[in-house]
Structure 1
Amino acid sequence: MENTDLVGAEFDELRRLAHQKFGIIVPANAQSFLDSRLRGFMSMSGHSSVAELLHEARSDGREDLLINVVEHLSTNHSYFYREPAHFEFLAKRLLPELSERLKRDRSRDIRIWSAAAAAGEEAYSVVMAMREFFGPHYQDLDAGILATDIATAALRRGALGEYKSDLFRHMPPDWKQKYLEYLGDDTYRVIQAVRDDVMFRWLNLTEPLDKLRGRYHLILCRNVMIYFDDATRENLVRNLSNLLAPGGYLFIGHTDNPDHARIYLDQIQPAIFRKKAKT
């Protein structure tokens, strides 16, 4: 195999493509880290040089290749019941509010979007939380979750719903008994009833979001905006706020900059924002 080390011009081109296509900022000091990640990717893809890889990634009709490259360069790590304070808020405030709203409006429709879903750990955790809150009445609701990401391999893993046990380390113990089935080899699968309530779709958050119907009661966009520049973050938060129902909530990551969310939404507590309800 030819030399796979990144040279300066190739590194700059990779950074440019990641930002142009997906709004992702690759730090200027990350060249050695990316070099290691790229070598691992190229050993699987069969590309003999970085130049060859970049040439093909720039070609028309090969956005899938660029997505795979970016997926290997980014940290697509999540786990179940991540940031427990969000799930406590969900159970103690958001879902009780939503339950009262559904009764008032005589509605059964709960609309939730996991906007940077990785392999579905977040979306499945929210479904489990709703099942815990509503109990047997959950079956009377139309409560599916949309889970989107640019990482196609992660979306495939999410649809499969199989995970190693370490990803459940923060989950309440009784949830593990209710919602998982053991497959052996330290692997668990989310039960079919929960998997049926999550719809996985590819979506680039930096592109127009007009295809989404909007009026979401909750949007989770956690730990992804740290990869974006300031202008991309503001545009995304504005789009997300427009897609929220009045009184709907936006959860961001504790590592995400909250400044833009404060422009469009009311901050309720750290990393939790609310759109004003109609009076």
Structure 2
Amino acid sequence: MIKITEREFELLSDYIKSNYGIYIKKKKQTLLMGRLSGVLNEMGFTSFMQYYNYMLADKSGAGVVTLVDKITTNHTYFMRESDHFQYFKGTVLPYLEHSVKDRDLRIWSAACSSGEEAYTLAMIMDEYFSEKKTLWDTKLLATDISQSVLKTAKKGVYTRERMHPIPESWKVKYFKRRDDENFVIKDEIKNKVIYRKFNLIEKRFPFRRKFHTIFCRNVMIYFDHDTKYELVEKFYDCIEPGGYLFVGHSESLEREKTRFKYVRPAVYRKE
């Protein structure tokens, strides 16, 4: 394994934080070294300084794609933190059904990883609106910084084991068998999700219309205090009044600083 020096770690971790908001603490130095050593070997580099200089000079963007895929943790599963989805269906959707007059729902899965969260939301909305769904635009935006997980999400293929948390009725209604161990999301749900690559630390969000609900769960744990605060402020500015923000249960907003109102654990609202 190629060793990383203190200086190399400092340069590389600063680069990652400046460009992607991910704060890699000193105690994670060995983890970073382990995740990137294979990349250095494949590219013929003998030191992390060579790799760092390559990242700075690379104009193709290929190096950045690999870097992001290696340093991000894309752990997710269907129905993760299921109380959020119950609240979305039981409280948020009834509110939106009566308050969104143009019937154009704008939901954003802001760190969608391999697609389980976005597809879960799409299935919930399909089931909720049922026979009225043709009257509503329920397409949702799903973004992530990692190109590889977006590719996986777009395919919508999941193993039997990964589908275990899904209700049996959903498995029948929204999935079709691909082979003995794999199932694929049916097009009626797959077509409801628009996947895009997006970096949450962009200075300005490019969205022309505001969202009614944003899910950004288990992402801000990787950000330092200032980066997290700036992101939450941007979320607030791009949510409609009355809209909701869902964060991970291991995350929370500073109630004395945020403009969001606390609703329940990991759920906030713009008034």
Q: Report TM bin, short chain.
A: over 0.9
What TM-score does the superposition give when structure 2 sets the normalisation length? 0.93
**Stretch of structure 1 that moved more, 65-74 or 148-157:** 65-74
Q: Is the 8 A contact 1:79 1:121 kept in 2?
A: yes
1:197 corresponds to: 192
Give the distance between the partners of 1:29 and 1:185, measured in 2 at CA: 43
1:27 corresponds to: 25
Alignment partner of 1:116 out of 93, 101, 111 = 111
Letter in 2 for 1:68: T
Alignment partner of 1:46 out of 22, 43, 48 = 43
Q: Is the 8 A contact 1:233 1:260 kept in 2?
A: no
Quick one: structure 1 residues 40 and 180, their matched pair in 2 at CA, closer, same or farther if it must change by over 3 Å?
A: farther
Alignment partner of 2:165 out of 165, 170, 173 = 170
Letter in 2 for 1:186: E
- 1:221 aligned to 2:216? yes
1:15 corresponds to: 13
Alignment of 1:245-260 (within 5 A): 245-259=240-254
2:89 corresponds to: 91
Give the Å deviation of 1:185.
Answer: 5.0
Give the Å deviation of 1:88.
Answer: 0.6
Give the distance between the partners of 1:212 and 1:221, measured in 2 at CA: 16
- 1:270 aligned to 2:265? yes
User: What value does the CA root-mean-square deviation take over the aligned residues?
Assistant: 1.8
The C-alpha deviation readout for 1:73-107, integer Å capped at 9, x for no partner, is: 221111111110101101110011111123xx2x2
* Aligned-pair identity (%): 33
Give the Å deviation of 1:187.
Answer: 1.8
Give the distance between the partners of 2:173 and 2:44, measured in 1 at CA: 45
**Stretch of structure 1 that moved more, 250-259 or 181-190:** 181-190
The C-alpha deviation readout for 1:97-147, integer Å capped at 9, x for no partner, is: 111123xx2x22000011111122111110001011111211221111111
Q: What secondary structure does 1:67 align onto?
A: helix
What TM-score does the superposition give when structure 1 sets the normalisation length? 0.91
Give the distance between the partners of 2:84 and 2:194, measured in 1 at CA: 21
Give the distance between the partners of 1:158 and 1:101, measured in 2 at CA: 31
1:150 corresponds to: 145
Give the Å deviation of 1:62.
Answer: 4.4
Q: Is the 8 A contact 1:225 1:257 kept in 2?
A: no
Quick one: structure 1 residues 14 and 270, their matched pair in 2 at CA, closer, same or farther if it must change by over 3 Å?
A: same
1:57 corresponds to: 55
Give the distance between the partners of 1:131 and 1:34, measured in 2 at CA: 41
Q: What secondary structure does 1:68 align onto?
A: helix
Quick one: structure 1 residues 91 and 29, their matched pair in 2 at CA, closer, same or farther if it must change by over 3 Å?
A: same
Give the distance between the partners of 1:41 and 1:217, measured in 2 at CA: 40
Q: What secondary structure does 1:199 align onto?
A: strand
